[in-house]
Structure 1
Amino acid sequence: MKLTDLRPLVARRRDGALSFDGFRTEPTLAALRWPDDVLEQFLFDHGDNTAFVKAYNTIDLHTITWQLETVPAAHFTGMPTGASDEDCIESYAEIPVHWVTVRPPQIARHRDEHGTWLRPPLLIGRRLLDPDAARLRVLESRTRVGVLRGRRLREHLYVAPQHRARVGRQ
């Protein structure tokens, strides 16, 4: 199953005819056995984003297994995202305070107290896109990763040494 196979479901979501609860229980999605957090951030939120679909439509969704993993903060420093958004992480890193203040206050509180995000970002093994590629790529959560980079490298604010992330691999 590819992202383009989800067009009918995503169209119903876009039209307001399908809530996330309805979306996640659709038989084709339930068969993936993905965590709700991944279904929501990856497919529900971005399943109709043209650039996103173009970047990730080569992946057979059934081949991805998701795990909640601990990733060192240093690994996020140079971690790329897709070509359609390749500069966005750095733009968020330039003014991380702004991106925290435009979010609900509990996000800033959690970041200040724990040095990490409230909701784990989504990362994928780059081998899903290129068999010769290693390491991870930011799939969703470019703002969160940009804020982490900006706090760590530009503002020298407290950043936890490790962060939880949902990682998808083949």
Structure 2
Amino acid sequence: MNLNDLGPLMARRRYGGLTFDEFRTDPALAELRWPDDVLQDFLFDHGDYFVDDYGALDLRDITWELESIPAVDFHTMPTGESDAGCIESYAENPVYWVKDRPPEVGRHWKEHGTWLRPPLLIDRRLLDPAHSGLQVLEGRTRVGVLRGRFREQLRVAPNHQAWVGRP
């Protein structure tokens, strides 16, 4: 099962006004057994958007775990080809991108030096067995803010929670 197979469900979500609870209990998703945070961020909120970069990926091959990732690992972590350069763009003005979010996001960065909601990362071996390392799937703004805050010597925690999809 890949994103293209979920086209009818995505269309019902987009045009039929499905709530997240209705979406997550749809029989088409039953075999995934993914955490709700991942289902919402990846498929419910942005599923249509990811078809170009991840449309052929067999979603059943992914197991998601919440992991603690060192901040330095995010400095060169890529994202999908269709969004090449966007993380760097967000990193250019991290203060703006935090202020553009609800106030609790800024407070969390200030108090904890990290994001409020963990981004989604994917093991690059799922995309190509010859690749290694992690790739930003969803959370490009968050990772850009982290890079920019680090560059501007603003508070950045040494480790950050992220949902990591692995084979």
* Secondary structure of the structure 1 residue equivalent to 2:162: strand
Q: How far apart in 1 are the matches of 2:66 and 2:108?
A: 19
Q: For residue 30 of structure 1, report the CA deviation from its aligned partner.
A: 2.7
How many Å separate the matches in 2 of 1:82 and 1:93? Answer: 17
- The size of the alignment, in residue pairs, is 167
**Which residue in the other structure is 1:19 paired with?**
19
Give the counterpart letter for 1:75 in structure 2: D
Moved over 6 A (4+): none
* Corresponding position of 1:68: 66
Q: Distance in 2 between matches of 1:54 and 1:90?
A: 20
Look up the match of 1:156.
153
> Secondary structure of 1:134's match?
coil
Task: State the SS of the aligned residue for 2:48.
Answer: coil
* Equivalent position to 1:144, from 142, 145, 152: 142
Give the C-alpha shift of residue 17 in structure 1: 2.9
- Unaligned runs of 5+ residues in structure 1 are none
**In the aligned structure 2, how far is the partner of 1:16 from the partner of 1:103?**
27
Matched-pair identity in %: 67
CA contact (8 A) 2:52 2:82 kept: no
**Match for residue 165 of structure 2 among 158, 163, 168:** 168
User: Which one-letter code corresponds to 2:157 in the other structure?
Assistant: A
Secondary structure of 1:74 counterpart: helix
Q: Tell me the distance in 2 between the aligned counterparts of 1:23 and 1:107.
A: 26
**1:119 aligned residue:** 117
In the alignment, which residue of structure 1 is the partner of 2:77? 79
* Matches of 1:126 and 1:19, distance apart in 2: 31
After the TM superposition, which residues 16-95 of structure 1 pair with which residues of structure 2 at under 5 Å, given as runs? 16-49=16-49, 52-95=50-93
TM-score, normalised by the number of residues in structure 2: 0.98
Asked if 2 retains the 8 angstrom alpha-carbon contact of 1:93 and 1:150, the reply is: yes
Structure 2 letter corresponding to 1:29: L
CA contact (8 A) 1:123 1:167 kept: yes
Distance in 2 (CA, whole Å) between partners of 1:130 and 1:28 is 25
Q: Quick check: 1:7–1:47 contact (8 Å CA) kept in 2? A: no
2:63/2:166 contact within 8 Å kept: yes
Using the size of structure 1 for normalisation, the TM-score is 0.96
Counterparts of 2:16 and 2:41, CA distance in 1: 17
SS at match of 1:151: helix
Q: Deviations over 1:114-154 (max 9, x none)?
A: 0001100000000000101110000000000000000001x
Instruction: Write the deviation string for residues 1-21 of structure 1: whole angstroms up to 9, x where unpaired.
Output: 010011111101111431111
